[in-house]
Amino acid sequence: MSARESSTGGAEASPALSLPASPPAPRWAQWVANVPVAVACALAALMMVTTFVDVMLRYFFGRPIGGAFEVTELSMGLLVFFALPSVMLRRENIVVSLVIERLSARAQAWFAAIGDLLCAAVFLFIAWRMWLHGARLLRFKEVTMELAVPKGAVAQTMASLLVLAAICALIAAWQVLRASGTRSAGGSR
């Protein structure tokens, strides 16, 4: 039996990236990233209640909630953007590591930081374009069909949350590099 097989005979999963333990993000950054998570949780609860009540009313009384689809549609879109800052700050994003796991911890930290910086750059670019699109939607007074929610306001909210996610990605990059520098300065590798 090889070293990568467990006592039950199955193969073990490959080891995760061995990034140095990052110090926690500054308290203000944690707070700023957690407030949108509370909103995301409220949106998830709203979707759940709306869907449940809509199905019950449709089934038992043949009268669904007007605009339930739009509530679910907008909530789902916003939920993703409200959760993104916290995901980036806590480094809970999905990472595919085919080669990187074979590198030293310091090299892994640098690759993680480069990934965070690229994410921040992409988020900022998308936020810029989304903000401009939202402004155009507001200028033409575009609204959703049933509930008349201004589409531009939704787009600009998403753009603002992308800027916050980019800031959190920059903080995460700084944290992992700082932890890597501290670890190597202490003499351990």
C-alpha pair distances (Å), 106 with each of 24, 116, 174, 177, 182: 18, 15, 13, 8, 10
Q: Would you state the pLDDT for residue 32? A: 87
Average pLDDT over residues 48-71: 96
Q: Which of 128, 123, 39 is nearest to 83 (CA)?
A: 39
Q: Would you state the pLDDT for residue 31? A: 87
Measured between its terminal Cα atoms, the distance across the chain in Å is 30
Q: Would you state the pLDDT for residue 96? A: 76
**Rounded to 5 degrees, what angle do the CA atoms 66, 72, 75 make?**
130
Average pLDDT over residues 106-119: 92
Average pLDDT over residues 161-169: 96
For 20-59, write each residue's pLDDT tens digit.
556 678 888 888 888 999 999 999 999 999 999 999 999 9
Which pTM was predicted?
0.81
Residues 6 or more apart from 56 whose CB is under 8 A from it? none
For 123-161, write each residue's pLDDT tens digit.
999 999 999 999 999 999 999 999 999 999 999 999 999
Phi/psi at 11 (nearest 5 deg)? -80, 140
CA distance 111 to 189: 16
Burial annotation 14-32 (CB, 10 A radius, 16+ → b, else e)? eeeeebbebeebeeebbeb
The H or E element spanning position 109 is: helix 105-139
DSSP, res 5: B
Locate all alpha helices (DSSP H) within 15-104, ordered by sequence: 27-61, 68-89
Share the mean pLDDT of the chain: 86
